[in-house]
Structure 1
């Protein structure tokens, strides 16, 4: 089966849980941006966290996660929505750092340990909701966990993991998000915390062939789980030649004329998916006429 996310409740509804296999989704991002191993892990982890956060929204609602750390990765920007669609980019895709002291990809070294972690939610209201917390670890999972606890007052545990193969391709990628609802019993919290401490990385469990459902059963230390929904997840970008054309239009007729005279055309590249759109002199002349028409 292709990538999917499961939503579940356990312990009489006091625990809400999500798990996702996003292997193909992150592999698509890796291919589009030609990310090297450390950048792949940093971008992939952020995309996985954004997918699970997006799964808490209604279908058309969307959110943006921005990770602005002081490490060599530069900024990471990811968009997701309530339909399981995600897209994202990292400013320094060609980043490959030495392994950390645990022999793992050094995501903390790439992201940095100082900076801001921002979530902007567009819920179809007049103003988007924006929450911001400082980066607390740079490992991404802990940063999602801290954001949820502080900005959304939801005690959570977030695990995000990307297994990168020796040729920089994505072997497996996935994550979990476990949230305690108000009134959750302390013994339940202790039980889950103890289980989380001894759980290996999700990417390793996926590599062993475990499904998101099986992973949640292990993490929650119970078979009594109510699986509410299974949702496909995918890399999806809604860019188009028309949208970039509308952006060129805002430059004004003089700027468009300069593009015609100096470059005899234009190319627009989407930062989220690397799709390229070509505009011939005829295309630009048409846009210029539109700009002149709107200026009258």
Structure 2
């Protein structure tokens, strides 16, 4: 089961997620190359984490528009752990880097990250920042720092089996709270730099709760004295890849094409088939379903 825990200490709030099942479902739907799913899996994981910080019925959409082979990726998420997404070129692939890791930065490239929050207002909030590295985690941390003025540490990872199934996927995000101690984020960054990668932690069998403890334990101040940072886990959320498409939604979308375009489409064929980008579900519509509109 894919799940997320979130909590806080006096200086920061944190989110830690095991997204293996979500990324596996995405891989089954989109049939990605190894490097494409490494990139898309990180993006989905980030979407789950960021969505967990929303309130009520708010919805978040993340979108990349870049010059790399993937071109763009889109994910939407909410506070209940539901997420879905798609990418423009799932078969794109690049050689492994010299360290044997997928070239996520290369396949994404440089461009823009857009964060769109639908909070039930007349217009959604739209934040935009540059994609600096294409490694996802660093780029989202940069977005938080420049667009929301929130110092953020983010780590994401996906490991893949030889048969292209997902071995492990997950990540964590820690954000400073207002009036937090300035040295905390510096010490935290140093601590994270000293521990193993996200995929190594999950491959080693670590639970979300154990990762939380690892992040906070044995931190020292400038004098070499232990920083006591008590934390509390206050919520657990089950996460899932979930698409809300339906035949009725697509019917309304087809109607929105208008009379002239519908006439043109049905002059060439009796049945119109549409496919959902997010889950690949297909819906068929016959001409007579739109007869009153066309006539």
Normalising by structure 1, we get a TM-score of 0.92
Offset, 1:290: 4.4
Aligned partner of 2:16 among 19, 38, 44 = 19
Q: What is the distance in 2 between the residues matched to 1:92 and 1:77?
A: 12
Provide, for residues 230-263 of structure 1, a one-character-per-residue CA deviation record: whole Å limited to 9, x for no partner: 0011101111111111111012234323333312
Structure 1 segments, 4+ long, off by >6 Å, are: none
Q: How does 1:110-189 map to 2 (within 5 A)?
A: 110-112=107-109, 114-189=110-185
1:73–1:90 contact (8 Å) kept in structure 2: yes
Q: Where does the alignment leave 5 or more consecutive residues of structure 1 unmatched? A: none
Q: What is the distance in 2 between the residues matched to 1:100 and 1:216?
A: 30
Offset, 1:32: 0.2
Offset, 1:212: 1.4
2:48–2:83 contact (8 Å) kept in structure 1: yes
Q: What is the distance in 1 between the residues matched to 2:200 and 2:293?
A: 54
Aligned to 2:254: 248
Asked if 1:238 is matched to 2:244, the reply is: yes
Aligned to 1:7: 6
Aligned to 2:276: 270
Aligned to 1:196: 192
Q: What is the distance in 2 between the residues matched to 1:96 and 1:71?
A: 11
Q: What is the distance in 1 between the residues matched to 2:281 and 2:85?
A: 13
Provide, for residues 32-67 of structure 1, a one-character-per-residue CA deviation record: whole Å limited to 9, x for no partner: 001111110111111111111111101310011011
2:60–2:117 contact (8 Å) kept in structure 1: yes
* Most deviating of 121-130 and 216-225: 216-225
Q: What is the distance in 2 between the residues matched to 1:9 and 1:250?
A: 46
SS of alignment partner, residue 206 of structure 1: helix
1:256–1:288 contact (8 Å) kept in structure 2: no
Provide, for residues 88-109 of structure 1, a one-character-per-residue CA deviation record: whole Å limited to 9, x for no partner: 1111101221111221111001
SS of alignment partner, residue 77 of structure 2: strand
Normalising by structure 2, we get a TM-score of 0.92
Offset, 1:125: 1.0
Aligned partner of 1:221 among 208, 217, 222 = 217
1:253–1:289 contact (8 Å) kept in structure 2: no
SS of alignment partner, residue 56 of structure 2: coil
Q: Where does the alignment leave 5 or more consecutive residues of structure 2 unmatched? A: 219-228
Aligned to 1:77: 74
For this pair of structures, how many residues does the alignment match?
285
Q: How does 1:255-294 map to 2 (within 5 A)?
A: 255-279=261-285, 281=286, 284-290=287-293
SS of alignment partner, residue 274 of structure 2: strand
2:150–2:176 contact (8 Å) kept in structure 1: yes
